[in-house]
Structure 1
Amino acid sequence: MAAEGTNHSHTDTFIGITCVVIFLISYLCVLGEEFFHLRKSKPVIIAAGLIWLLVGLAYTLEGDNESAAIAFRHNLLEYAELFFFLLAAMSFITTLEERQVFAALRSWLITCNLSLLQIYWATGALAFFLSPVADNLSTALLMGAVVMAVGQHNVRFVAVGCINVVVAANAGGAFSPFGDITTLMVWQKGVIGFSGFFNLFIPSVISWLVPALIMSAVVEKGNPVPERRHQQRQMKPGALPILTLFLLTIMLAVTSHSLLHLPSVLGMMTGLGVLKLYGYYLSRFESSIRDTGHVHNLHIQNLTDISQMKGDHTDVIRRFDIFQVVERSAWDTLMFFYGIVLSVGGLAALGYLGLLSDLFYSNLGPTLANSLIGVLSSLIDNIPVMFAVLTMQPDMSTNQWLLVTLTTGIGGSLLSIGSAAGIALMGQAQGVYTFSSHLKWSWAIALGYLLSIMSHLWLNGS
């Protein structure tokens, strides 16, 4: 956004149009990540740099040597708060995974001898209630693994089960500040209070239950084929204390933001510091670790390298190391977030978001505009969509802000490419859960989407 007191509009200039083209090209590279095998953060980081260089040039040509720098620092500060918040949250999730909390949960579900229909509902319900804390991407991957392990060669069950997990994870993430990056952005912006998000609980439930009930009609009623060999997984020592510490960290972030009016990132980073201290305790009293999940390949490589060295160095590698766990956080996502926030901020500084705000909110009205924005998030990642709305700052009531939070959260479920959860599961269940298999049920998901909007307007006011 431009600096206070300035009104720069370059929407019809060569520089402005060039910036839009740069952003679109970078985003096409993001959408083609699976085809190009190019990490999505790389093109948007370059785009952000080019856009802001052109923004600085446009302002300088007008004789304004200060506003561009002020606007850039404003956007950078917004990103920095979200970066450290997400870094802390991802570190906790990755540490819980390294302690095999999620592996133990998955193992327990597989050995419960449930029917296919019961597994279908259990994975959907767990995805819905885990995603408000463990984010929708991690939750979808966890529950998707359970669906595939139980369904094995039952293609129809795996496809429908994965769709159910994606819809449930996105719906669950919509009513919690911690469930999705977009809800976190809204909360940190101060538009909606922490408790205000829970007004979206019933609409979120409806957005999941409606398509889940419809799709359950094609799930077989029998039992899955028993797995020949399944290794029971147990949580590692320290798993429950870390889980407790994570919940206490969330409470600290919420209370410091609500009662002391301090940025919530302060509470999260304080909790991360305590986690690192507890990690030191584990490294002192745990002699050996056998990693799984994201850190497994890292330690296998380390152990291979160390085996070629002379002397006994195993105490360096085998002990729990919180810094190695943090290294495995989703850095590509964090860097992608930088590129998106700065790119959208640069377009806002050129006047494009003001133009879109007039087009959407002034001409269509907030209810229709917010509903269409949710549909748009099924084609474009909801992070730039929500950041653009927050940057526009349209004059809306709290319930309308709740509506756009809901629609950007659940709108990504309309297509498999509309959310990180869907894209990740397509990679995990290649050839079974596909774009076309998801599209076959998009009408049911759209029905849940419309009914959830109607329930929100009825329960929380238009």
Structure 2
Amino acid sequence: MLTPSPTHRLRHSARRPKFVVAATFSILLVLFSPLAYASTGPLNLTTSISGFIAVGLFILAYGLVMAEEQLHMRKSKPVLVAAGIIWAVIGWVYVRAGLPDAAESAFRETLLEYCELLLFLLVAMTYINAMEERRVFDKLRSWMVQKGFSYRTLFWITGILAFWISTVANNLTTAMLMCAVVSKVAEGDKKFISLCCINIVVASNAGGAFSPFGDITTLMVWQAGLVPFEGFFTLLGPSLVNYLVPAIIMSLFINNRTPSPLDESVWMKRGARRIVLLFLLTVVIAVLCHTVLHLPPALGMMTGLGFLQFFGYYLRRSLPRSIERKRTRYSQRGDWRKLESLGSVVPFDVFSRIARSEWDTLLFFYGVVMCVGGLGFMGYLSLLSETLYAGWNPTWANIVLGLISAVVDNIPVMFAVISMSPDMSVGNWLLITLTAGVGGSLLSVGSAAGVALMGQARGIYTFAGHLRWTPVIALGYIASVLTHLWLNAASFSN
């Protein structure tokens, strides 16, 4: 029986208001494939009324997700309802067939895999929110603003930082941080801000493609055991090419002048550096749990959450003494600005950080995982696998799926591929990881980073503005694929 192997990032997932292509693709593959249908559960439901109902529900739910901006409805709602109805239909069919245990077992396996990913992402989001609350990102932004870099330098610095930060933080957080810097420094220069936003989106998506923690899709592939932890780093070269090719071309169109430096002082809150170190330690523990102990990485992440809780307890208990020492020190120096800032100090609370996690994204991923798991149990993923990977060369299939991820969210694309379990080499698993990660850069609605910046830089960074540079970004996409095929040719024979 084919059961979905799990996975998750949190990179968040994005809103993609382009439904027609996804719906057409799904309908053609499911209804008009000439290949024999393959069943993954005891019952083959791919040609049944219940199967068509399930596919229709999933398409309808995903259409509502893509129209999130227009409907002002959270994306988790339709997929949660669709997942419930799909599994209810499966349960009803299997009860009538006298096989209730088969459906229950499949549902529990899919749910267990989701829970492992939920815990992993929840801890990662909590640490990111904790660092944000301790003003780690604000400090970085302040440093950049005060330096008074030229426009071209700022373009490269924000792009390079977005590339590297997105290897550990989700592309949404990374892109919004860099956009805030650009908007602050180049206020009023809409052309430059728009160009920087495009560069940031491409960089943040490319940076997450070669790190197991950089994107939900890479995390999914790693946790499924399809590529070893160190194997992802072979995508560093292709990811850099994906970012550098369009960045070099776009930088030639920048009117290089130097804005006036801004006087803005930001102090990180107490314990900020230690929380960053704890996060790095947590990542190391998660990796060791998976590679050495062969236990789920979620174990290491939850242990790291315990460390953060203990550190939060220490910060709360020692806060009065710390404030008193600082008050004395600042009074002696006559540093009245810092002395005044002590009046706004509040205790650190881990659970308030957990509450700020992207619950809509986490619930959306539950809905996607359960919907795809249900369709897979009915036999549709086996059908899709036969159509795409048996009928085509896996390399071409992975390249096309990367292009589709510019329109369809890369999370269900990657989860569907993993659930199909096509017989591919490590090189091809790395290829789909790369293409699904960077394919979303082709359109502004192709990734969470792009959608977020359209809201943050409303009226400046737009769909049409991004579309004008799509041919240049496509050059980077093609170049990154060719680079992977060249540099990692040996991995395709594994």
2:291 alignment partner in structure 1: 258
For residues 349 and 143 of structure 2, the distance between their equivalents in structure 1, rounded to whole angstroms, comes to 27
Please give the secondary structure, in 2, of the residue aligned with 1:369: helix
1:64 alignment partner in structure 2: 99
For 2:437, which of 386, 398, 409 is the aligned residue?
A: 409
Q: What residue identity is the alignment partner of 1:250?
A: V
Structure 1: which 5+ runs fail to align?
A: 290-314
Q: How is 1:105-144 mapped onto 2 (pairs within 5 angstroms)?
A: 105-144=140-179
* Residue pair 1:94, 1:329 contacting (<8 A) in 2 also: yes
How many residues were matched structurally? 434
Q: How is 1:340-355 mapped onto 2 (pairs within 5 angstroms)?
A: 340-355=368-383
For 1:209, which of 232, 244, 250 is the aligned residue?
A: 244
* Larger deviation, residues 324-333 vs 4-13: 4-13
Cα offsets for 1:225-251 (capped at 9, x unmatched): 554xx5311111100010001101111
2:477 alignment partner in structure 1: 449
Summarize the Cα distance change of 1:382–1:417 in structure 2 as closer, same or farther, 3 Å threshold: same
Aligned-residue Cα RMSD (Å) equals 1.8
Summarize the Cα distance change of 1:288–1:121 in structure 2 as closer, same or farther, 3 Å threshold: farther
1:237 alignment partner in structure 2: 270
1:312 alignment partner in structure 2: none
Q: What residue identity is the alignment partner of 1:460?
A: N
Shift, 1:62, TM fit: 2.9
Structure 1 residue 364 corresponds to structure 2 residue 392: yes
Please give the secondary structure, in 2, of the residue aligned with 1:114: coil
2:447 alignment partner in structure 1: 419
Cα offsets for 1:32-71 (capped at 9, x unmatched): 1111111111111111111111111222333322111111
1:221 alignment partner in structure 2: 256
Cα offsets for 1:242-269 (capped at 9, x unmatched): 0001101111111111111111111110
Q: How is 1:167-182 mapped onto 2 (pairs within 5 angstroms)?
A: 167-182=202-217
For 1:268, which of 301, 307, 320 is the aligned residue?
A: 301
Summarize the Cα distance change of 1:325–1:6 in structure 2 as closer, same or farther, 3 Å threshold: closer
Q: How is 1:266-415 mapped onto 2 (pairs within 5 angstroms)?
A: 266-287=299-320, 318-415=346-443
For residues 372 and 7 of structure 1, the distance between their equivalents in structure 2, rounded to whole angstroms, comes to 31
Please give the secondary structure, in 1, of the residue aligned with 2:459: coil
Please give the secondary structure, in 1, of the residue aligned with 2:391: helix
Summarize the Cα distance change of 1:456–1:288 in structure 2 as closer, same or farther, 3 Å threshold: farther
Shift, 1:12, TM fit: 1.8
For 2:464, which of 414, 426, 436 is the aligned residue?
A: 436
Q: What residue identity is the alignment partner of 1:359?
A: T
* Residue pair 1:23, 1:47 contacting (<8 A) in 2 also: yes
For residues 245 and 318 of structure 1, the distance between their equivalents in structure 2, rounded to whole angstroms, comes to 21
2:333 alignment partner in structure 1: none
For residues 109 and 184 of structure 1, the distance between their equivalents in structure 2, rounded to whole angstroms, comes to 31
For residues 395 and 276 of structure 1, the distance between their equivalents in structure 2, rounded to whole angstroms, comes to 43
Q: How is 1:5-16 mapped onto 2 (pairs within 5 angstroms)?
A: 6-16=41-51
* Residue pair 2:444, 2:463 contacting (<8 A) in 1 also: yes
* Larger deviation, residues 321-330 vs 178-187: 321-330
* Residue pair 1:287, 1:319 contacting (<8 A) in 2 also: no
* Residue pair 1:253, 1:265 contacting (<8 A) in 2 also: yes
Please, what TM-score do these two structures have when normalized by structure 2?
A: 0.85
For residues 151 and 62 of structure 1, the distance between their equivalents in structure 2, rounded to whole angstroms, comes to 66
* Residue pair 1:2, 1:67 contacting (<8 A) in 2 also: no
Structure 1 residue 247 corresponds to structure 2 residue 280: yes
* Residue pair 1:48, 1:340 contacting (<8 A) in 2 also: yes
For residues 247 and 386 of structure 1, the distance between their equivalents in structure 2, rounded to whole angstroms, comes to 26
- The structure whose RCO (Cα within 8 Å, separation 6+) is larger is 2
Fraction of identical pairs, as percent: 53
Structure 1 residue 198 corresponds to structure 2 residue 210: no
Cα offsets for 1:297-343 (capped at 9, x unmatched): xxxxxxxxxxxxxxxxxx9x942211112111111111111111001
For residues 393 and 190 of structure 2, the distance between their equivalents in structure 1, rounded to whole angstroms, comes to 44
* Residue pair 1:144, 1:425 contacting (<8 A) in 2 also: yes
Shift, 1:9, TM fit: 2.1
2:18 alignment partner in structure 1: none
Structure 2: which 5+ runs fail to align?
A: 4-38, 323-342
Cα offsets for 1:266-310 (capped at 9, x unmatched): 111000011011011111222599xxxxxxxxxxxxxxxxxxxxx
